[in-house]
Amino acid sequence: MGTLQIQLHISLTSLAMFLLKAWRLTAFGVYGYLNFTKPGFVEHAKKFKSEEMEAPIQGKNCIVTGANSGLGYATAEGLASRGANVYMICRNKERGEAALSSIKSTTGNPNVHLEVCDLSSVNEIKSFASRFSSKDLPLHVLVNNAGLLEDKRITTPEGLELNFAVNVLGTFAMTELMLPLLDKASPDARVITVSSGGMYASPLTTDLQYSDANFDGVKQYARNKRVQVALTEKWAEVHKERGIGFYSMHPGWAETPGVAKSLPGFSKSLSGKLRTKEEGADTIIWLALQPKDKLVSGAFYFDRAQALKHLMFAATGGSHTHIDLIIGNLRSLSGLA
């Protein structure tokens, strides 16, 4: 192949990649605006069945990460109001105590507890897991809700890119370490991981910590959220005989402190059209309550129904073959055998 042909091939490849990325963003934007906003929730809610939110969960043990505000708070409050024993995982002790007090007051449920743990630190997660495991409780529901979108590259004391540390490695380590307690609640145990519609704009990549010098927090967040969906698929496959259900979901575009801080322009442009935190948490609580024979382990849920994992012509589906390599890297980084 001559030099000119090589240059032409490179140019065509670059153009194809540019067009593909542009299509992903356009398709995601249009699909999201029609479905992820508050009007989308109102429309989808016409098919909801109120009795599905009345399933018994009294006395069941539930962990909710990132529970001091936003979706995590609404989830913890929703589970507590239905009589569950709720363990709120919060990074900040003061904000966690304020949220704990508020949830106990509004629900009248005394069995709500605060566990302080920074999900960006594998060592803190291991320390929490050791403390919690000593209670020897069956864990019925683990909600991996804690998430972060930090636009600038920040490295944690453990040497990890911060978004990845919280969204991916924190989720992985927490889930893996809770498996023995989830086994104790089998066959009713379930893991619910809160992803994001933003993952539609990204394929799975093995570049977990975004090595590109031009760091982009929004892109990294989308990549992280894609990993969560692929992880859920793999967990469902590997542990299908254990009686643990694994589900990922996305809450739509909800008005939370995290969104307001991380995406101020987005939050402002959609003012009045964003979902409430309760509407965003609705499907998380729904997944916690449903009989497992009504759910599909490994599936991705949105507004109480199975949802697409890949948008049409976005060419993200084949990327999930990378998940085995990614899990190997996560095991190595977390020190989990």
* 301 catalytic per annotation: no
Q: Check if the beta carbon of residue 198 is closer than 8 Å to that of residue 258.
A: no
237-260 residues labelled b (16+ CB within 10 A) or e (exposed): eebeeeebbbbbbbbbbbbbebbe
Inter-axis angle of helices 277-289 and 70-80, nearest 10: 50
Q: Check if the beta carbon of residue 277 is closer than 8 Å to that of residue 260.
A: no
Amino acid at 192: I
CA-to-CA distance for 224 and 236, rounded, in angstroms? Answer: 19
Q: Check if the beta carbon of residue 326 is closer than 8 Å to that of residue 204.
A: yes
**Which single residue is written with the structure tokens 């949220």?**
99
Active-site residue identified among 73, 221, 247, 301: 221
Distances (CA, A) of 71 to 76, 103, 241, 296, 332: 9, 13, 31, 23, 30
Residue 68 bridge partners (DSSP): none
Half-sphere exposure of 241 (CA within 13 A, CB side): 1
Give the β-pairing of 61-65 and 141-144: parallel
Give the β-pairing of 85-90 and 112-116: parallel
Residue 55: which residues within 8 A CB-CB, separation 6 or more?
289, 290, 291
CA-to-CA distance for 75 and 67, rounded, in angstroms? Answer: 8
Cα dihedral 90, 96, 97, 98, rounded to 10, equals -170
Residue 114 bridge partners (DSSP): 88
**So which residues are the catalytic ones?**
221
